[in-house]
Amino acid sequence: MRLESNLDLPLPSRATPHAAGYDIRSAEPDFALAAGEIRLVATGLVMALPEGIECQVRPRSGLALRYGITLPNSPGTIDPDYRGEIRVILQNTGSEPVDIARGERIAQLVFARFASPEIVEVAELSATSRGEGGFGSTGAT
């Protein structure tokens, strides 16, 4: 759903039929994101997700490659019980300011199912052939 002041902006959409991500746009007046700056950017969107579905907010690869624009908390998560405006934390990791126009695609949304297991403390874990090996241990000879 779009907030009243943002009816001129399109709803999230996929660029191609096989795209996983839905592009979302800035609802802010045009601004420059300074080198090193982190800014919370409004999208003018609110949504109600079904139970068991999360919405992940991810960077757009073109903005990352061309300008160093990323989302420092990527992927951000929108929970099914959240009802506020979707806002995106943008960060300019580049060395130059980047102009962001109202209506420009700034991030993408990817929807995913999630499980909510009961967390139970146990006295010990079952044994596996991997054990406690991590960080490249499965490729060691």
Whether residue 68 lies inside any domain: the answer is: yes
Residue 137's pLDDT band (cuts 50, 70, 90): confident
Q: Can you give the residue range of the structural domain that contains 108?
A: 4-116
Whether residue 27 lies inside any domain: the answer is: yes
Please tell me the pTM assigned to this model: 0.86
Instruction: Reply yes or no on whether the pLDDT at 141 is more than 60.
Output: no
| Contact (CB, 8 A) for 19 and 100 | no
Whether residue 63 lies inside any domain: the answer is: yes
Q: pLDDT tens-digit profile of 16-26?
A: 999 999 999 99
* CATH number of the domain to which 89 belongs: 2.70.40.10
